[in-house]
Amino acid sequence: MDSGTSQPLSLSDFGISPERGFLPADPCETLPGCPPLNDLGYELPKLLSARQVRWFIDEQTSLLPSSPSTWGETEYRAAMRILSFAGHAYVWETPGQPATKLPLQLAQPWYEIAQRLGRPPVLSYASYALDNWRRLDGTKPIQLDNIVLLQNFLGGLDEEWFVVVHLQIERQAGPGLDGLVRAITAASERKDDEVLLGLQSLASAQTAMRDTLLRMKERCDPYVYYTRVRPYIHGWKNSPSLPDGLIYDQVEAYAQRPQQFRGETGAQSTIVPCLDAGLGIHHAPDPLTVYLQEMREYMPPRHRAFLHAIESQTDSQGRALLSGYVHDRKQGHPNLWSAYCACVDLLAKFREIHIGYADSYINRQHQTSTTNPTAVGTGGTPFMTYLQKHLDETRQAIAV
C-alpha cells in the first residue's frame, strides 16, 4: 500500500511525552523577580471574593519587570497563567456588570506574553489546566490524589476537582497518543502485529480516561460549577453581555478597537481532535466543526502542529492512513478490525459522558444573568445539538 502523504511521526518532536501526553514538565510555581504578579496570583481568590480585583490591578503601576530577559518558556507560561486568571477576574468580577476595558498595566503584558506563546491574550485551556498544577509529593505520580492547582478564581473543592479531573485525563492520554502514533507508523510499514499493539495501547488509555471522566460528579456539583466556577471562564466573543468585545488599553496592535476572543473550554484540549484524526472519524461541516477549527488557535503551537501532522497521515486514496489500513484488512485480519472498533467505541463513550455533563452542568441550570448563559458553551456556541451529531458520526465509523 502506498502511504500517500505519510511522514514519520514522533511525539518528542512536538514536546509530547508518552508518560504525560500534552502535559508539560512540572509547571513553574512562582515567577523570579516578579513580586507584583506573584502577589496578584496568590491573593486573587480573596480579592475576587471581596470584589477588589479591579481596584488592586488599577492601583499597580506595573505587573511585570521591564525586561524578563532571563525567562524561558516555562516562566512565560506561568506568567500567562496568572495574567489570564487576573484578566478574567477583572472582567467578570461584578456579576452582570463586566468590564469593557482592561487597563494598560494588565493589557500590555498579557498581550506581549501571549504573542510569545503563540496564543491569544485570553484564558485558554493551556493556562487553565495544562500549566496550572503541582504535585503534592514530587516523588509520586501525576494522579488525582497527588495534584492540586497552582491558580484558582475563588477556590474550593468543586473548582479544584473540575480541573484536576481534566489533568488526570491529559496524563492518561499520554500512553494512548504513543499507541496511536505506533499504530499509524506500523500501518505505513504494513506491520499488522505492531498496528494491533498500538491500538490495544490506545484502548487501554481510553478506558482509563473514560473511568476518570465518570468521576467528575464525585466532588464537582453541577449547581456549584454553574454558579461559582463557570462565570469566570467565559470569553468575549459571541458574548451576550460583551457584544462588542473587550478593549485592551494602549495595546498598539489593537488600536483601541474591542477584541473578541473565545472563552476557556475543554474543546481547546488537543486529545479528542487527535483521536478523531488518527481513527479517521469524519464530521460533516456544521457550526461546531467551524468552532472546533477555530479552537486550534488557542492551543499551544506545538500541539496544534502535532494535530496537523496526524491529519496529514493519509494513504494513496486520501483516507486517514490507520483507518484505511484497518478497513482494507477487515476480513483477512479480524483482530485488527476488533481493536480499531474498540477504540472508536471508547471515543463514542467518552463523547456520550461529556454530553451528559454538558446537559446537567450547563443546559439544565437556571440562568439568572446574561453573563452566564445556559444555551451556549463557554466558547460562545450552542452545543447540545452538535455534540449529539458528533457522537452519532463517531459511531457511524464502525457501523459498516
Find the CATH number of the domain harbouring 205: 1.20.58.480
Distance CA 216, CA 364 (A): 17
If you count DSSP H runs as helices and E runs as strands, how many of each does the chain have, helices first? Answer: 15, 4
- 58, part of any domain: yes
pLDDT at 3 (0 to 100): 45
B/e letters for 60-83, b = 16+ CB within 10 Å, e = fewer, are eeebbbeebeebeeebbbbbbbbb
Distance CA 186, CA 190 (A): 6
- 3, part of any domain: no
- 281, part of any domain: yes
pLDDT at 213 (0 to 100): 98
Domains: count for the chain: 1
pLDDT at 4 (0 to 100): 56
Q: Which residues pair with 320 in a beta bridge?
A: 314
Q: Give residue 121's domain range.
A: 23-396
Distance CA 386, CA 182 (A): 31
Cβ(351)–Cβ(387) below 8 Å:
yes
Distance CA 130, CA 292 (A): 19
pLDDT at 349 (0 to 100): 98
- 4, part of any domain: no
- 176, part of any domain: yes
Sign of CA dihedral 360, 362, 364, 365: positive
Cell of 14: 512536538
- 302, part of any domain: yes
Judged by DSSP in three states, 382 sits in: strand
Instruction: Name residue, grid cell 480579592.
Output: 47
Q: Which residues pair with 259 in a beta bridge?
A: 246
Q: What is the pLDDT along the chain (400 residues), one digit of tens a residue?
A: 444 555 689 999 999 999 999 999 999 999 988 999 999 999 999 999 999 999 999 999 999 876 577 899 999 999 999 999 999 999 999 999 999 999 999 999 999 999 999 999 999 999 999 999 999 999 999 999 999 999 999 999 999 999 999 999 999 999 999 999 999 999 999 999 999 999 999 999 999 999 999 999 999 999 999 999 999 999 999 898 999 999 999 999 999 999 999 999 999 999 999 999 999 999 999 989 999 999 999 999 999 999 999 999 999 999 999 999 999 999 999 999 999 999 999 999 999 999 999 999 998 898 988 889 888 877 666 678 899 999 999 999 999 6
- 153, part of any domain: yes
pTM: 0.96
Torsion, CA 118, CA 170, CA 271, CA 178, rounded to 10:
110
